[in-house]
Structure 1
Amino acid sequence: MTREEAWNLLTEYNKDAFHLEHAQIVENTMRYFARELGYGEEEEFWGIVGLLHDLDFEQFPEEHCIKSQEIMRERGIDEKIVRATASHGYAITVDIKPDHEMEKVLYAVDELTGLIGAVVLMRPSKSVQDLQLKSVKKKYKSKGFAAGCSREVIERGAEMLGWTLDELIQRTIDALKTFQE
């Protein structure tokens, strides 16, 4: 599957600008981690998984990570993409546990990129470029802030990767700085 094919599939099921932007943020974050973790030759694959991870969320929120498997299989999409995208719903909507390091990264950064994005919007600069770990940690502790971003999932993701929460947050900030203002 090419990036263009993945984008066409995503935009067939997603029209909301927020969802499309989130997909691209996760795509680029996944590409960054592919390079950083020594999977540079798989960067395109990691990116496609990031781009398609919420394929079904806009139209089928109650069947998130379930309906996407059906859609992708009907189109003959590689089973590795089907599994990887579905695994980010582990212990939420599906029992597909993230096994590969790429699946663990997706699981960990999906919610975290949303939380960091919310922190950035609150900053005077509205930029990730001057964002510090301590600023994210302060907002992270406030359960009412970006309440839709599950701290439990973020923490479980860090644990799966064998990283501290601070390490996960800092590495994700670093990733976002490579492609966002």
Structure 2
Amino acid sequence: MSEPEKTMTREAAWELLKTYNKDPFHLQHALTVEGVMRWFARDLGYGAEEDFWGIVGLLHDIDFEQYPDEHCIKAPELLKAGGAGEALIHAVCSHGYELTVEIKPEHPMEKVLYAADELTGLIWAVAIIRPSKSVQDMEVKSVKKKYKAANFAAGCSRPVIEKGTAMLGWELDTLIEKTILAMRSCEASVNAFMAETASS
């Protein structure tokens, strides 16, 4: 991605996120999507941009907690105030494509965010009802079964997931499998961080 984006450190991004987000659920989701985006960067051959992919994931819902009715509309203002560059802003806002904004995902990273964001929520919902409470032993078929139940995790938009999958040129099973692997890669660190935060 473009050079200016490197000026925002991960630490600065985290502080910016916490300025507008206090709910543990939203912070956990942000950390999860950060970890997922980092995994996808490595998996898809963009390892040199892993930090940028991760920061986009971390900040993707920056405006959702305080401005749910202006999601991806208020974000540019908040991100600019925090020193974000145009590529980061475009990437964050593109996951609201045809929902709240007309900013189309263009870079593979933006397409991954668009497709995987909603899916991480659904996979997490599947995980918490499993005996293990974890994605470590989860299989694609477990997610597919719940995916087909429209009343399960109804807030996780199947049409968005499917549109994002099509943007990537993948099969749905491929996206689910990769997203499970991505969530496995960061589950322990996210859980440990949230536990530490809760006890401090």
Q: Same fold (TM over 0.5)?
A: yes
Q: Which stretches of structure 1, 4 residues or more, deviate above 2 A after TM superposition?
A: 73-76
CA distance in 2 between partners of 1:170 and 1:134 (Å): 10
Aligned residue in 1 for 2:88: 81
Instruction: For residues 18-56 of structure 1, give each alpha carbon's deviation from its aligned partner in whole angstroms, at most 9, with x where no partner exists.
Output: 000000000000000000000000000000000000000
Identity %: 65
Aligned residue in 2 for 1:141: 148
CA distance in 1 between partners of 2:107 and 2:55 (Å): 15
Aligned residue in 1 for 2:112: 105
Aligned pairs, how many? 181
| Cα displacement (A) at 1:124 | 1.0
Question: Which runs of 5 or more structure 2 residues have no equivalent in the other structure?
Answer: 1-7, 189-200
**Letter of the 2:172 counterpart:** L
Alignment RMSD, CA only? 0.8
CA distance in 2 between partners of 1:146 and 1:75 (Å): 33
CA distance in 1 between partners of 2:179 and 2:124 (Å): 11
Aligned residue in 1 for 2:28: 21
Question: Which runs of 5 or more structure 1 residues have no equivalent in the other structure?
Answer: none
Whether the 8 Å contact between 2:16 and 2:82 is mirrored in structure 1 is: no
Whether 1:117 and 2:124 are equivalent positions in the alignment is yes
**Letter of the 1:168 counterpart:** L
Whether 1:154 and 2:161 are equivalent positions in the alignment is yes
Whether 1:166 and 2:167 are equivalent positions in the alignment is no
Deviates more, 1:65-74 or 1:88-97: 65-74
The DSSP-based 3-state class of the residue aligned with 2:62 is: coil
CA distance in 1 between partners of 2:12 and 2:94 (Å): 21
CA distance in 2 between partners of 1:119 and 1:76 (Å): 36
